[in-house]
Structure 1
Amino acid sequence: MTYLLKDLAAQLATGSIRARALVEDCLAAIDQPDGEGASSFIETYHDRARNEADAVDHARKQGWSLPVFAGIPLSVKDLFDEAGIVTRSGSKVLKDAAPASSDATVLARLKAAGFIVIGRTNMTEFAFSGLGTNAHYGDPRCPFERDTKNRSNGRVAGGSSSGSAVSISDGMAPATIGSDTGGSTRAPAAFCGIVGLKPTTTRMPSHGVFPLSRLFDAAGPMANSVSCCAILDSLMAGGTGEEDAPFAVKGLRLALPKGYLFEDLDPHVAKSFAAAIDRLSAAGANIVDISLAEIEAMRPSNNTKSIVAAEAYQIHKARLEAGMGKDYDPFIAFRLDGGKNILASEYIDMIETRKAVWQSVQTAVRGYDALVLPTSPILPPALSSLPDIESKITQSARCLRNTAISNYLDRPTITIPCHAAGSGPVGLSLIGSRHHDRRLLAIAAAVEA
């Protein structure tokens, strides 16, 4: 079922649906024997969600004033703190940690708006991969070419927010929150055929979110439409859930940053993206090919060390040095080890280089409403194509090749499905200007339409 937040809020307010019925529908989808619930959720709150839904229905029946979104289920990535719950970040390493003393700020804001947390979603361990696989809790699979009889057949959901994305695509929740350090909301959203948003990093408070990289992490929503993501973005940032009027497509100036971001595209990705660009052009958008030397310099082959690798290692250093590395997924432990030998001077140099690139790119793209590119150059990799660490590293890098640019530039970015119904999932990304997240959402609403 495709849930839209505005419609659900209106139906709940008029009594045409009840919160309990909505929660039951989501729980039924999670509990489906041949479904993805068991691999997409680490923990599901059956009784708690039902009790909260009953309380909402009772309050509505009594005519009490309620938040606009009271009674709508929400799934939560397993790296957001929730009071009384252990934040595992998709790992067995933290399973015996003390429960959180309070909710993450963004989660507290969504609860205050009336959302009911239905469960905690699976993810790449410690959010450090674009595949979305998890050696401890299972591998969520995207809807494309999913085999319901054999779990080893199928394709990855994308990472790191894999369970969150599948919870939306499979009707297990109308809304979810994830995090994005190199593409972790957008790659899963693209692979699962939904909408995903990476905000400007400082837009959302990071309190209560287990970090991967403090300079790159950004909490963001995923949902079935740009409108839904705009509502969630507003609430998470401390707003009231408002939407902005969409821009007109006619007259939009959109730039395609040609170069390595358009190299080696899967033929279906290339065809679907080109068709979407043709539709935008026919609707009156001005599409311009540009070349950005700054982005060309970001080719992965030119950058064997990174800020994210350095920060991720420092976050896990004490546990790894205490001999806990054996409890990590070997793939994740290997990736973390990559940041071990980055010197402080190199880290500082990388930060200064990044700031300079920000300024240079800002000058180069001035006058354009957004950059446009395929969210991922490939279709979701098959699980069977990931037999070892080397293959996982290669495929993860391919999944996140295009998305990581936005994190480095700290620009808000949204992915929108652009493939034909029934075909392989392809996302179209719009990259906006730093701190102009709402403007990007208004542009995205026009492009989506």
Structure 2
Amino acid sequence: MSDMFGAMSLAQLSTLIQNRVVDPVAVTESVLEAIGNHHDQSIFTAVFGDRALREAAASSERLRQGRSLGILDGIPIAWKDLFDIAGRATRAGSKVLADAAPADKDATVVTALQRAGMIAIGSTNMSEFAFSGLGINPHYGTPSNPAAKGAPRIPGGSSSGAGAAVAAGLVPVAMGTDTGGSVRIPAAFNGIVGYKATRGRYPMDGVFPLARSLDSLGPLCRSVQDAVWIDAAMRGLSVPQVAAGDASALEIVIPTNVVFDGAEAGVIDAFETAVERLTRAGASFARMAIPAFDEILALMAKHGTLVTAEAFALHRERLVGPEAAEMDHRVVMRTRLGEKISMPGYVAILEARDRLVNEVTRLLGDRLVAFPSVAHVAPLLAPLEADDDLFVAVNGKTLRNTMLGNFLNWCGVSVPCGTGEAGMPVGFLLSAPARKDETLLSAALSTEAVIRGDFV
């Protein structure tokens, strides 16, 4: 059993720990050993052995004295390398920050989960400065997708190490960020669950930004129930308040524009098969165009993207100094595009965004939205490393579906729904308008088994 702790769901591992079948110290030691022995050493950029064992010992003592902090006490969690961890530099996947001053305290959400008893196990790899949906990192290596059976495939990004760490069974949960899809994409590519919360649901103190008007957080984990538990703890709740709803009462919109353009046949088949299962379970679907999707793409073509404008503003001094030579040239290239976005153009995007958010919210009403998380399965790594033009094209297509939700400030959950080309996982993305996270999570709880195909 000891080599399986990282491959368990939070519920499975919590049952063992709370019933004192296993001790948090033994769990932590096993997870640390598994990480150290794993064949892919690019998944983690740092492992917090001493800290993790101290936290595990404290958890063990609490449990011995009957003072458990709750259902997450003693469970390991990995953190994407842009969350501040006290005493170490927050590198955000970049060499240029390797010698930065160490953080003087943990990020607020790290502290929240520590207060719930969780064990900070290490920092996971990522796309440099979180600016790619592919997960390729030339500085610290690119984690290989654990679902790939042949040549290495990308893990998705930017939360690449987080997705790979969970999919490889090294940790039960890892925390990511999502600005254009960086939780939901690696979840889909690696065949796990990824929950992107509404922007602003959690405090962002101590989280290295990409684009503040879009940045959001969320866990990559094994089940929707796991995501519900993590969500509650990050908001300071001792007990989750989300319960499974009634799948037969769900009304779901499937967009007919944009999200299926150029989609692989295997992705469409896996998605539509899941829709058929949900229909048999009583959910109702309406297929309709969402005009805002086309307008968002037109805005980007005319003015550029919010993420590029805000990333350039954040990194503009770095881009004109010697640090630029130490950065991934693809990140430099993409970030410099932000210089071409004018202030009137940026304001026009923001004004259009407010209008479109309101229009789509009225259009949807109480309905959810569903479409494939990504239009294709995880592609092979080597061609993307070798060809910058291919990198740009695939990155754009990879981000297309998920970034729509970021622009509209939706919350979303990606759930595995089958496999496509080369037996690689396909994600089913269920989304809801801003601040309807409880509605979304309740619906995802009630439909997860159906979406996965476990429903009989």
Pairing of 1:264-343 with structure 2 (within 5 A): 264-299=262-297, 302-303=301-302, 305-343=304-342
- Give how far 1:304 is off: 5.6
Pair 1:389 & 2:385 matched:
no
Which of residues 1, 16, 21 in structure 1 aligns to 2:21? Answer: 16
Pairing of 1:119-158 with structure 2 (within 5 A): 119-147=122-150, 153-158=151-156
- Give how far 1:303 is off: 4.8
Higher helix share: 2
CA distance in structure 2 between the partners assigned to 1:146 and 1:100 by the alignment? 39
Retained in 1: the 8 A contact 2:81–2:90? yes
1:149-198 Cα deviation digits (max 9, x unpaired): xxxx3100000000001111111111111100000000000011111111
* Residue of structure 1 equivalent to 2:425: 425
Structure 1 letter corresponding to 2:364 = V
Retained in 1: the 8 A contact 2:232–2:238? yes
Pair 1:90 & 2:93 matched:
yes
RMSD, matched Cα: 1.7
Q: Aligned with 1:429: secondary structure? A: strand
* Residue of structure 1 equivalent to 2:162: 164
1:349-369 Cα deviation digits (max 9, x unpaired): 11001101111111211242x
Retained in 2: the 8 A contact 1:157–1:191? yes
Pairing of 1:64-103 with structure 2 (within 5 A): 64-103=67-106
Which of residues 47, 60, 63 in structure 1 aligns to 2:63? Answer: 60
Pair 1:117 & 2:150 matched:
no
CA distance in structure 1 between the partners assigned to 2:34 and 2:167 by the alignment? 11
Structure 2 letter corresponding to 1:314 = A
Structure 1 letter corresponding to 2:61 = H
* Residue of structure 2 equivalent to 1:150: none
> Structure 2: which 5+ residue stretches go unaligned?
450-456
Q: Aligned with 1:202: secondary structure? A: coil
Retained in 1: the 8 A contact 2:266–2:419? no
CA distance in structure 1 between the partners assigned to 2:67 and 2:349 by the alignment? 54
- Give how far 1:237 is off: 2.5
* Residue of structure 2 equivalent to 1:434: 434
1:422-447 Cα deviation digits (max 9, x unpaired): 93200000111211111100001111
Cα gap change, 1:51 to 1:160, in 2 (>3 Å): same
Pair 1:261 & 2:264 matched:
no
* Residue of structure 1 equivalent to 2:219: 221
Pair 1:108 & 2:111 matched:
yes
- Give how far 1:65 is off: 4.4
> Structure 1: which 5+ residue stretches go unaligned?
148-152
Q: Aligned with 1:288: secondary structure? A: strand
Q: Aligned with 1:298: secondary structure? A: helix
Q: Aligned with 1:297: secondary structure? A: helix
Structure 2 letter corresponding to 1:15 = R
Q: Aligned with 1:262: secondary structure? A: coil
Cα gap change, 1:259 to 1:411, in 2 (>3 Å): same
- Total equivalences in the alignment: 441
CA distance in structure 1 between the partners assigned to 2:362 and 2:335 by the alignment? 35
CA distance in structure 1 between the partners assigned to 2:196 and 2:68 by the alignment? 33
User: TM-score, normalization: structure 1?
Assistant: 0.95
Which of residues 168, 172, 176 in structure 2 aligns to 1:174? Answer: 172
CA distance in structure 1 between the partners assigned to 2:303 and 2:390 by the alignment? 17
